[in-house]
Structure formats: structure tokens, C-alpha cells
Structure 1
Amino acid sequence: MGDLLLRECRIVPLGDGEAAPAGGEPVDVLVRDGRVAEVGSSLTRPDGVEEVAAGGRWLVPGLWDQHVHLGQWTLTRQRVDTAGAASPDEACALVGALVGASPGRPVIGWGHRPGVWTRDPTVAELDAVSGVTPVVLIAGDAHHAWLNSAALAALGLGARDEVVRETEWFAAYERLTRLTGDDGTAAPAYRASLEDAAARGLVGLVDFEFTGGAAEWVERWGAGCDLLRVRMATYAEGLEDVIAAGLRTGHPLDGDDRLVMGSLKIISDGSLNTRTAWCCEPYSDGDRLPDPSGAANLAPHQLRALLARAHMSGLQVATHAIGDAAVGAALDAYAATGATGSVEHAQLIARDDVARLAALDLRASVQPSHLLDDRDLTELIWPGRGDRSFAFRWMLDAGVRLVLGSDAPVSPLDPWLSIAAAVHRSADERDPWHPEHALTAREALAASVDEQPSVRVGSRGDLALLDRDPLAPVSPAAPDRDPAADLRSMTVALTLVGGDVVHRTL
């Protein structure tokens, strides 16, 4: 753990009604042994402690991303971007051009949003433009992939003419290395992703990657990826191995308390784009779906059994639940078992279940930037339910422990994009979408710092020094300033983890 003296920084108050120390004037902050030891004016620099002139910049607790698939995010930075494909025809044209340029070289794409396409894609049309070159196009929500016949065969999946969805796709994902060889997630690639995160003020993340496990993270950590704090989750397939290894939530994986065991992750339903999120009412086009209201991935007794097993073994549980029926079933399971942890996403929720979330003291781990992508689709296939979507204001007012994340690579690993989306609920020229659920900038920032208090004596030495005031109001002197754009473009001068510098531009 490091020591550092920051000269003349302004501490950003995060608590409700809390005022900035010294009336918002610059103060000095001394970090010793990884903790904030002193806050005041003209502090004496201890011998051997580095001093950094903050120049009146703004200091906040270090940011966290509470929901990341770090391996997929690292790979996505290297994959073909299909986000601009507005139809299967456009996606096929892109694939055809890539195959024509490099015949035989596998095409791995990411990012298209088939939920707004007017028809379902087929394997046959992908085969027609790719031949024997394997093609895997992963949807932007990560819940399904469109493969050609060559890729289906290479990954051991049966012949079909439709996409591979949900559990079957999650199981097949780790076999992508059969097509790519080096999967692009060696330690240097991970390190680059972590450095980019640190440059945005992130000091920690919760890794929900589907593949690998504790042993892989320990190896990666020792190979140079020991930059930020990481909580590593397991899935049901690895649960017994985790329990047998004696790992419990919060336990260091390799004697370093920056790399610890996280939660059991359960995916209890699907997603909006695939129309597999489990809802209390049918989708607007439910008549053409196998399950008109979506469906649960686990029967109630299976969900309860997993929660109970994890809880009795000292593990918290993070339950993916996007539809309102899935959220309700998850809360039933937590209440029945006494398990602790979080509901991940809670994208559509009943008002009564907000109160249950608070009463059970569960975290609502939400991804505000998803509302930018899902706004139009929600209105199309969940008509009349927008007032219960991304219902952050209900949650915060009810006392729910709200924490923000990105779900990268579904959205970029960028906390400022999430904060801006939570506050402004729009990223284009349109008015905010259901502004009654908007958070203030202070509330959104407080939900992004791992439930840490404002910087004070005793705080963790995980800090981010910002180039602008994140809470600055629009002033008469600058009436045309765009606060949302200011948040999205926030720059960070210094990031500390345990007092150690992990990013600096000063």
C-alpha cells in the first residue's frame, strides 16, 4: 500500500446534504499505508512521501464498475464491430466483404442489435456469403450468437437454421478458441483493458466472465494484471470447486486483498433483445415466440437450491434478473434462503418488489447506459411498461442499495457514460426518457464508488482526481453548457489504488 500527499484538491461531497470540506476550497489529503490519514490545510509532508500538486482539481473516492465481463470486453476491443448493421442483409454484406478480403480467416463479430430487425436471421444466408470460413456474430446483449454452419460444426453445436441462444450459447462461448487459437486474452491484453479503466477513474471491478476461474486470475495477476481491485465471480458449474477450495466472498485469492472471491452468479432469465427476459405480461409480438412472456432459466426449486448452497458456504449471490417476473422470483428465493448479495439488472420491476429489494437489504446492481440502447425497443415490445424500466428513483427513494456498472462489453466500460445516463436518461437530441426516474449527479456518483463515503480520514486510499467538478450546475455565465456531455467526457488526472498511482496525467 502506498503513501502520497495531494496538495490543494477539492473534495466532492457525496452524502445527502453533505457540504464540501473547507467550504469547497482546496485542502491537502495525506494517504498513508493505503488509507486517508489526514485532511487539512498546509499539511506537513512526511519524509519519503511523494507530493503531487492537484492544482485545485476535484477529488472523489475511486470509481467501481459492479458488472463487467472482462475477458469479453478485452476481446471485443479486437473484434469486428457489427453494431451498425441495421438488418441481416447489412450484416451479411459486412461478412461477405471480410471473407472476400481474407478467405479462411474466422470472422468473430460483436455488437449488432437484432431486437429491432424486422426479421430473424438464418444460418443459410450467412453460409451463402461465407462458405467454409467460420463466422460467429455475437449479439450486443451477449445472450445469443448467429453462426454459420462451419462455426456450428467447429464449436460442436448441432445443425440448425436459427441463432444459438442463452444457456446453449454461454456453454459454447468458451470453445471459441477452437476458431481463434490465441484467444486474445493473454495478460498483456487484460493489462491494456485495466489501464484504460484506470484512466477513467476506476479502481475496481466485479468480473462476471463466463470462462476461467480463480487459478486463471491468480496466474494473470502475477503476470502484470495487478493494477485494480477485482472481485471474481463463479457460476454454478464452478461452485463446488470454489467451495472445496475454501473460497468465500471477500477472501483473497492469492494473499492479496485487491484480488478476492466475489459472488455466485446466476442467470435466471434472458434478455430484452432476444425476448427471453421473463415478464409478467407477454411481449407485444409474443404470438410468434416460443414463450410469449419469456421464461425462467431455472425452476423455482433449482434457484432456491443454488442460493441456499452458496449462502451456507459463505458466498454472496448475484442473480441476473431482467424481466419483472424474474425479479419477483429472485426476491422470493432470497427471502426463502436468507442469501445475501444482489439482483443484477432489475431492468423491469414491479413497484411492490422495489420495497422488497430494500427490505431484504440486497444491492440493485444496475446498468444505466443500457437504457440508451433499449429505450426504443422497450417501447416497441414492452408497450406501457417504460415507467417501470430502469426505475432508479423508485429504488433510491425506497432505500435500496443502488450500485452502477456497465455490463461491458454490452456497454462500454466507462463509468462516466453510466453516470450521465442515470442523470440525463438520453444521449441524443431527444428529451429524457422517463425523467421521473433520473438521479442527481451526486446520487449517481455516490452509486459508483462501491458504497464508500466521501473522502475523509479513514477512507480507503482508492481515489480519483478529476479535471472538472462532476457536480457543477448550469450557471447563468454558461447557459449553453451541456452537463450530460460534460459528464460523458470527464477526464481524470490521477487514479490511486491503496495509495499507489495506477494512472496519472499530472
Structure 2
Amino acid sequence: MPEILLLTDASLPQRQGRFDVTVEDGVVRSILPAGDAPALTRAEIRDLSGRFLIPGLWDNHVHFSQWTIQRQRLDLSSTGSAAEVLQLVRSALTAPDAGGSAPSAPAPLVGYGFRDGLWPDEPSVAELDATSGGHPVVLISGDLHCGWLNTAASQLLQAQPDDSGLVREGAWFPAMERLQDSTVLTTADYRAAAEAAARRGVVGVVEFENTDNITAWPQRVAEGVDQLRVEVSVWPDKLQDALARGATSGDPLDPSGLVTMGPLKVIVDGSLNTRTAWCWDPYPGMDPAHPHACGMEAVPISELESYMRAARDGGLAAAIHAIGDRANTAVLDTFESLGMAGVIEHAQLLRESDIPRFAQLGLTASVQPEHAMDDRDVADRFWEGRTDRAFALKTLEESGAQLRLGSDAPVAPLDPWGSLTAAVTRSRDGRESWHPEQRISAASALAASTRGRVEVEAGDVADLAVVDADPLDPALLTDGGAQLRTMPVAATLVGGRFTFDAL
């Protein structure tokens, strides 16, 4: 990396004229009118030709290994029924490259992306067995909270589904971990996924994979997966080990400073698509006497409080998954009782009385706007009459809450332009805007994707993206946001170092 980098003829969002931007030692040192920068003999000069220089983008919620693995899995995202899923499984198992001299223990066929909330038919382990024979088949729901397994896969992963073949929530996550542990991902695989993120202007991610992130990510960076900053989380089963290491949130974990310690992550409830998000009201069609008629409490709140107290006392922040309105109430109560700031992940359905509490308690709402686009139909069915307070981004913002945007990749693609566009338009695929009163401005969405920065300023760490258009230009929204969603990115820099360069 050169000592000095001069980015010439740069445009800046919502500002007239062109500018020359000097970067030295990984920091933006000056922003001057084009042609006014002094001659620099030791500088590398790159002409932006009027392209826009913006703060680099963050994805504030990813499962990076799952996102990387997804590239190797059967894509089920287009299916609308159990029958359609079975047809894809049948085709995959009979494809020419799927057979050959079958080993005694064939590798499972793994599919990802089904959403059964609105299926017209029911999944069945018997039908999946009939389709797959003895070949293990593991089908993962789009929200990662459920698996559909045949008998061979159930035995392999030590899971116990019911007659549907479905395994949900706490019974499913250990099986998914066993599957992941058996999947070989190389440094090249991780590097390819990180490079793909850099090509979309991403400079950093918050990693919520349930593994030993504190060890894994510094090792990956040392092996060349150095395109991103990574804040790593720790889950409850690894909390004591993390506390014993003495790292507190914000501490660097590798010599380059790319990896930093992040928060404790706890999942308090399930998800909307699996009808396990913990709500105050029962799901339609559920017997009110059913123990999970309102969803489920994945971690008892007393245990949550114990985990959070230990994290707080050990210098770790907390990021708590809460989707249903009852889960959010309980998590807000816990943050308040501990006097602890932090992040609520998802915050999808909220009671009106709880919305002001985010700002009052100094909590951040880490939200995934693409989920609103994925889930709008299932929300209209299972949260009927309540969707005015679902994915309530504008109401949260107006209450003073700090917003962060993310993807929850692989639940949605690791591409902040999709999240940003969904937040601004509440629309996708040509459909009408869903609850347009909850749209936020492009400036708010950009700030929520860049750690609060809308403009590049002198003194900033040079985590930057070079894009072809002004992301705050209203003209990008005239076609439903398609131009914003597909924003061309010409370059990305992390600490002044090019991690993607198509200039």
C-alpha cells in the first residue's frame, strides 16, 4: 500500500463540484476542490472520473460460514410448495454428476432456502424418503430456524423430527452445527465470499456464526481473507471461554486490527416463517391451549439475564435476537433491569408502548429490511392486524432509536444495497410498497449501513466505496429502486487499501 493515495476528480453525495481526496496511513487527510491538492511526489494517483466517493458499507448481521456454504447448496428459494421442493431434490439426485460409484457413506444432499409458511401442502418424511431413497437429504429453511430431513439424514445428524421430517429451533440448531462441522470450507472459499462482498462496497461485517469466531477469524485473516473488517460474536456455550481470554468488546484480535471483539449473541425466540417467534397473541389457527400457540421462548429469560450479566461484567456488549413482540418486551425489560446498553437483533414485531424504549435505554435496533420483503405475505397471514407495527423502521427512527441495517446472510444476500433499497422503498420485484408509512429516507438508510456516516470527511478512517451514482439522488427511486439496488461499485478500500479495484 502506498504511503499516500490521491483520489482525484471525486464527486461527493449532495455536494456541488469535484474534489481531490488525500489518504495517508489509512486515514482521509484532506478533501479539497479538484486541482487544489498539492503536488505529492510519493503518492499513487487514481482518477475517479466523477464517480461518487462514499463511506464504506457494513452488513451488521451475517452468518459468514453459512453464507459461504450456501454457494454449494441446492437452491430452494424459488419453491412454493413441498411438492416443488421434492421435485428439485429428485432432479438433483438423478443428475449425471450426482451418481457414479456411490461411496458407502454418501455425502448429504443439502438444500437451502425453503419457506413453508404459506405452502398449500404439508412436508412429509415418508415422501422425502420415497424421493431420496437412502441418500441423506438435509433441507434448510430460508430463515435457518428449521430443517426438513429424511430418515438417513436424521440418523446422520442425530436429530429426531416428527412425521413431517421437520426439526425446529433448539432441536435443530445442534443438527445444523453437526452438518456445518462436516462441511469442508477452504481459505479460498472464504476469500471468494469476502471478495464478493468487497465488490459490493462492503468494508465490514458483524459475524454471528455459532462457532469459535475468536480463533477462526484471525486465522483466516492471516491466511489472506483480509478484504473485510469483522466484529465477532460469542454465543452462550462459548461465553465462559471468551471471558477467560479477557477480550472485551472493541478489542483488536489480530495484528492487522481487522478483527475485533464484538458482542454476546443470544437467541430468545424463533422466527415468523416457522411460527415460533414469541408473540403476545396466538398464531391464527393455533389452539390457544397449545404450549407454543404464541411461538416459543427459546432461552428462558432468567437464563438470558444470567448470560447478559456475565457479559456485562466481563466487558462484553450484548446483541439479542428477538422477533416477536413478546420476545422484544422481555429483552427490553432485561436490558433495563441490568442497566446495560446493546443491540436488539431483528426487532420485527413491536408493541407500540415498547418502541420508545429503544432510545430511552440507549439500545440499537439492528434490522434486516429485506426480511420485510421476503416475509410480507406470511406476515399478513400470521400477524394479521398487527403489521402496522412490523418492521417499523420509520417509527423506530422517529422515536430516537439508532438503526443498523444488515442481511442476516444467508437469509438475505450479503449485499447492503438490497437492504438499503428495501428500507427506502418497502418494495421489491415490482410490487406495491408494503406499509409505505414505514419507509425511511435514503440518507437514513445509508447512515444505518455505514456506521452513521453519510459523507466522507477529513479525519475518517479510509474505509471507502467508489460508486457510479449519488445514492441520495431521488432519481434512483423512480423505477421502484432497481437502480439503487443494483448500484455499480467501482472500488472499495479498507484502511486506504484497495480490496476491490475496477477503476
Q: What's the TM-score once normalised by structure 2's chain length?
A: 0.94
Map 1:163-312 to 2 at 5 A: 163-176=166-179, 181=182, 183-287=183-287, 290-312=291-313
Match of residue 357 from structure 1:
358
Map 1:425-464 to 2 at 5 A: 425-452=426-453, 454-464=455-465
- Is the Cα–Cα contact under 8 Å of residues 54 and 454 in structure 2 kept in the other structure? no
Q: Find runs of 4+ consecutive structure 1 residues off by over 3 angstroms.
A: none
- Is the Cα–Cα contact under 8 Å of residues 251 and 260 in structure 1 kept in the other structure? yes
User: Match for 1:73 among 52, 64, 67?
Assistant: 67
User: Number of residue pairs matched?
Assistant: 490
Shift in CA distance, 442/177, structure 1 to aligned 2, threshold 3 Å: closer
Comparing 453-462 with 134-143, which one deviates more in the overlay? Answer: 453-462
CA distance in 2: counterparts of 1:125 and 1:493, whole angstroms: 48
Q: Could you say what secondary structure the match of 1:244 adopts?
A: helix
User: Match for 1:152 among 138, 151, 154?
Assistant: 154
CA-based RMSD of the aligned residues comes to 1.7
Deviation at residue 105 of structure 1 after TM alignment: 4.7
Map 1:322-401 to 2 at 5 A: 322-401=323-402
Deviation string 1:150-194 (CA, Å, 9 cap, x unpaired) is 01111122364231111221112121157xx5x242211111111
CA distance in 2: counterparts of 1:271 and 1:406, whole angstroms: 15
- Is the Cα–Cα contact under 8 Å of residues 5 and 45 in structure 1 kept in the other structure? no
CA distance in 2: counterparts of 1:153 and 1:147, whole angstroms: 9
CA distance in 2: counterparts of 1:99 and 1:464, whole angstroms: 42
- Is the Cα–Cα contact under 8 Å of residues 473 and 483 in structure 1 kept in the other structure? no
- Is the Cα–Cα contact under 8 Å of residues 248 and 315 in structure 1 kept in the other structure? yes
Deviation string 1:442-498 (CA, Å, 9 cap, x unpaired) is 1111110012352111111001111111122239xxxx9525011111011111100
CA distance in 2: counterparts of 1:285 and 1:501, whole angstroms: 54
Deviation at residue 63 of structure 1 after TM alignment: 0.4
- Is the Cα–Cα contact under 8 Å of residues 107 and 136 in structure 1 kept in the other structure? yes
Comparing 369-378 with 121-130, which one deviates more in the overlay? Answer: 121-130
Counterpart of 2:222 in structure 1: which amino acid?
Answer: G
Shift in CA distance, 177/401, structure 1 to aligned 2, threshold 3 Å: closer
Shift in CA distance, 32/281, structure 1 to aligned 2, threshold 3 Å: same
Q: What's the TM-score once normalised by structure 1's chain length?
A: 0.94
Answering whether residue 494 of structure 2 is matched by residue 482 of structure 1, we say no
Match of residue 489 from structure 2:
492
Deviation string 1:203-223 (CA, Å, 9 cap, x unpaired) is 000010123331122221111
Q: Could you say what secondary structure the match of 1:310 adopts?
A: helix
Q: Could you say what secondary structure the match of 1:474 adopts?
A: helix
Deviation at residue 118 of structure 1 after TM alignment: 2.7
- Is the Cα–Cα contact under 8 Å of residues 270 and 277 in structure 1 kept in the other structure? yes
Counterpart of 2:370 in structure 1: which amino acid?
Answer: S
Deviation at residue 117 of structure 1 after TM alignment: 0.9
Shift in CA distance, 123/45, structure 1 to aligned 2, threshold 3 Å: farther
Deviation at residue 320 of structure 1 after TM alignment: 0.4
Shift in CA distance, 499/153, structure 1 to aligned 2, threshold 3 Å: same
CA distance in 1: counterparts of 2:175 and 2:212, whole angstroms: 14
Q: Could you say what secondary structure the match of 1:271 adopts?
A: coil
Q: Quick one: percent identity of the two aligned structures?
A: 45
Match of residue 57 from structure 2:
63
Shift in CA distance, 391/481, structure 1 to aligned 2, threshold 3 Å: closer
Deviation at residue 93 of structure 1 after TM alignment: 1.8
Map 1:6-85 to 2 at 5 A: 6-12=7-13, 20=15, 24-41=16-33, 42-85=36-79
CA distance in 2: counterparts of 1:106 and 1:483, whole angstroms: 40
CA distance in 2: counterparts of 1:109 and 1:199, whole angstroms: 26
Deviation string 1:222-255 (CA, Å, 9 cap, x unpaired) is 1111111000111001100100011111111123
Q: Could you say what secondary structure the match of 2:117 adopts?
A: helix
- Is the Cα–Cα contact under 8 Å of residues 161 and 167 in structure 2 kept in the other structure? no
CA distance in 2: counterparts of 1:453 and 1:99, whole angstroms: 49
Match of residue 17 from structure 1:
none
- Is the Cα–Cα contact under 8 Å of residues 311 and 340 in structure 1 kept in the other structure? no
Deviation string 1:40-90 (CA, Å, 9 cap, x unpaired) is 122124332211111111111100000000000000011100112211112
Counterpart of 2:156 in structure 1: which amino acid?
Answer: A
- Is the Cα–Cα contact under 8 Å of residues 278 and 295 in structure 1 kept in the other structure? yes
Q: Could you say what secondary structure the match of 1:287 adopts?
A: coil
- Is the Cα–Cα contact under 8 Å of residues 278 and 297 in structure 2 kept in the other structure? yes
- Is the Cα–Cα contact under 8 Å of residues 170 and 210 in structure 1 kept in the other structure? no
Deviation at residue 369 of structure 1 after TM alignment: 0.5
Q: Could you say what secondary structure the match of 1:254 adopts?
A: coil
Q: Could you say what secondary structure the match of 2:472 adopts?
A: coil
CA distance in 2: counterparts of 1:274 and 1:87, whole angstroms: 15
Answering whether residue 93 of structure 2 is matched by residue 93 of structure 1, we say no
Counterpart of 2:481 in structure 1: which amino acid?
Answer: A
Counterpart of 1:67 in structure 2: which amino acid?
Answer: H
Shift in CA distance, 154/488, structure 1 to aligned 2, threshold 3 Å: same
Comparing 280-289 with 432-441, which one deviates more in the overlay? Answer: 280-289
